[in-house]
Amino acid sequence: GENVEQHPSTLSVQEGDSAVIKCTYSDSASNYFPWYKQELGKRPQLIIDIRSNVGEKKDQRIAVTLNKTAKHFSLHITETQPEDSAVYFCAEGGNEKLTFGTGTRLTIIP
């Protein structure tokens, strides 16, 4: 079945520095890769997504890159701020379902 591995499980970054979270997936037919941010006790919130026809997508301080050959994709957050502290989940899938990674707890150190 589908499997998504996510690293690191925890990440501490000084405010203003960049954070990078990486995921690998197993299903070569996958073509949709969203990233969700989850604050404590809250819903997963979509922050950015990418489809397999592009290699990179950027939205202000957040960017995602996709390497379909290697079956991995990454989330990049630049100029980190305290409000970026949360758990981040990658996922892969489509209309039928999403398979989530195990999550990265990002802590921004003021």
Partner 1 sequence: EPEVTQTPSHQVTQMGQEVILRCVPISNHLYFYWYRQILGQKVEFLVSFYNNEISEKSEIFDDQFSVERPDGSNFTLKIRSTKLEDSAMYFCASSRADTQYFGPGTRLTVL
Contacts with partner 1, residue ranges (CB under 8 A): 32, 34, 36, 42-46, 49, 51, 89, 91, 93-103
Q: In whole angstroms, what is the distance from residue 48 CA to residue 4 CA?
A: 17
Least Å distance between CB 50 and partner 1?
11
Least Å distance between CB 79 and partner 1?
26
Q: Which residues pair with 13 in a beta bridge?
A: 108
Token pair of 58 as six digits = 């950027």
Q: In whole angstroms, what is the distance from residue 48 CA to residue 23 CA?
A: 14
Q: Which helix (H) or strand (E) holds 86?
A: strand 86-93
- In the complex with partner 1, the residue whose CB is nearer, 28 or 95, is 95
Least Å distance between CB 30 and partner 1?
11
- In the complex with partner 1, the residue whose CB is nearer, 5 or 17, is 5
Least Å distance between CB 22 and partner 1?
16
3 touches 99 (CB < 8 A): yes
